[in-house]
Amino acid sequence: MSLVETLAIAMAMTFTLVIYSFLWRENRAYRLAEHIFIGSGVGFGIMFAIEYVYTNAIKPMGETIAAGLTLYNTGYLFGKYILPMFLGVLLYFFFSRRYLWIYRIPMAIFVGIGLGLAMSGAAQTQLVKQILDTMLDLIYPLIEGNWIEFINALIIFIGVTGTLAYFFFTTERGSVRTWGVIGRWTMMVAFGAAFGYTVMARVSLLIGRVHDMIVNWKITSTLFIIGVILAILSYSLFKGEGKT
């Protein structure tokens, strides 16, 4: 392993432990790591965006101009590069109070295109087909005589309609409200499952960091860093820094 790679791993491990030190109490080391993380993320994004604009817009635009400007070329240049870049530049008027309205023009175009694209697909996949399948899954197994599938579909059907009834606020009592109780229980089960998965995801992140520490680094080095962090924390504790 090269010196640069070793240094990179050491930095990664140190930052991991420094970030986890927040669980003990907030401290300056944690805040420093947090700022470095955000800063490097933004820096990476800006670097990539500039490179992208150069490779996919400025460079080919220069090549097109160098090849000679015909009527077709000029239209192509304007439609493919100049207009989108111009709209992009208008977004920077967000920072001007006086000319904020200019920023709204490209924003309206982007939101309009995005919404138009998303709406047709979303209505199809996330609404119409989901409703249809909730009903059809109940009917087909019944025709086929597949009772296990039918019971499964029935539970889903009861859960879906119950949840919808729970959010039906126009009646205060009656069968809709009673049906809504089933919906409340269904939601509780769903939230429980989601909570379980969330715990799993968070623990996975910790597992990944610990695994990296063990694989990439000798455990003794890890313990050494833990010792250093604890020493810094103890110092900050005695100095009365940070409040939990």
Partner 1 sequence: MAAEIQIEWSRRILYILVFAAVIFPLVMGWEMSMKVSPHTKGLYDAIEKLEPGDVVILSFDYDASTYVEQFPQSVAIWEHLRRKDARIIAVAFWLQGVPWIENTIREVYGLNKTEPVDELPDYGKKFVNIGWIPGGEVGMARLGENVAGIKEQDNYGNMLKDMPIFEGVKDAHDVKLIVSFSSGTPGAEELLRQIGVPYNVTMGTAVTAVSAPGFYPYYPKYFVGILGGLRGAAEYELLVERKGLGMAGMVAQSFVHGLIIIFIVIGNIQYLLERRRQEEERRRESGGA
Q: With contacts defined by CB under 8 A, name the span among 68-76, 89-97, 129-137, 235-243 that binds partner 1.
A: 129-137
Phi, psi at residue 183, to the nearest 5°?
-60, -40
Least distance to partner 1, CB of residue 59, Å? 9
220 contributes a contact to partner 1 by CB under 8 A = no
22 Cβ neighbours under 8 A, 6+ residues apart: 30
Burial class (CB in 10 A: 0-12, 13-18, 19+), 183: buried
* Dihedral angle, C-alpha 159, 163, 164, 169, nearest 10 °: 150
79 contributes a contact to partner 1 by CB under 8 A = no
Q: With contacts defined by CB under 8 A, name the span among 91-99, 141-149, 207-215, 228-236 that binds partner 1.
A: 207-215
Cα separation, 217 vs 12, whole angstroms: 11
Provide the residue type at 44 as one letter.
F
190 contributes a contact to partner 1 by CB under 8 A = yes
Q: With contacts defined by CB under 8 A, name the span among 99-107, 142-150, 169-177, 197-205 that binds partner 1.
A: 197-205
Location of structure tokens 């904020």: 100
Contact 73, 67 (CB under 8 A): yes
Q: With contacts defined by CB under 8 A, name the span among 90-98, 118-126, 138-146, 161-169 that binds partner 1.
A: 118-126
55 contributes a contact to partner 1 by CB under 8 A = yes
Q: Residues 145-184: x/- map of binding to partner 1 (CB under 8 A)? A: ----------------------------------------
Q: Quick one: tokens of 194?
A: 């989601």
Least distance to partner 1, CB of residue 183, Å? 16
For residues 138-161, b (16+ Cβ closer than 10 Å) or e, as one string? beebeeeeeeeebeebeeeeebbb
Least distance to partner 1, CB of residue 181, Å? 22
DSSP structural state of residue 240: T
The smaller minimum CB distance to partner 1, of residues 150 and 222, is found at: 222
Give the binding site for partner 1 (CB under 8 A).
Answer: 5, 23-24, 41, 44-45, 48-49, 52, 55-56, 60, 113-114, 117-118, 120-122, 124-126, 129-130, 133, 190, 193-194, 197-201, 203-211, 214, 219, 244
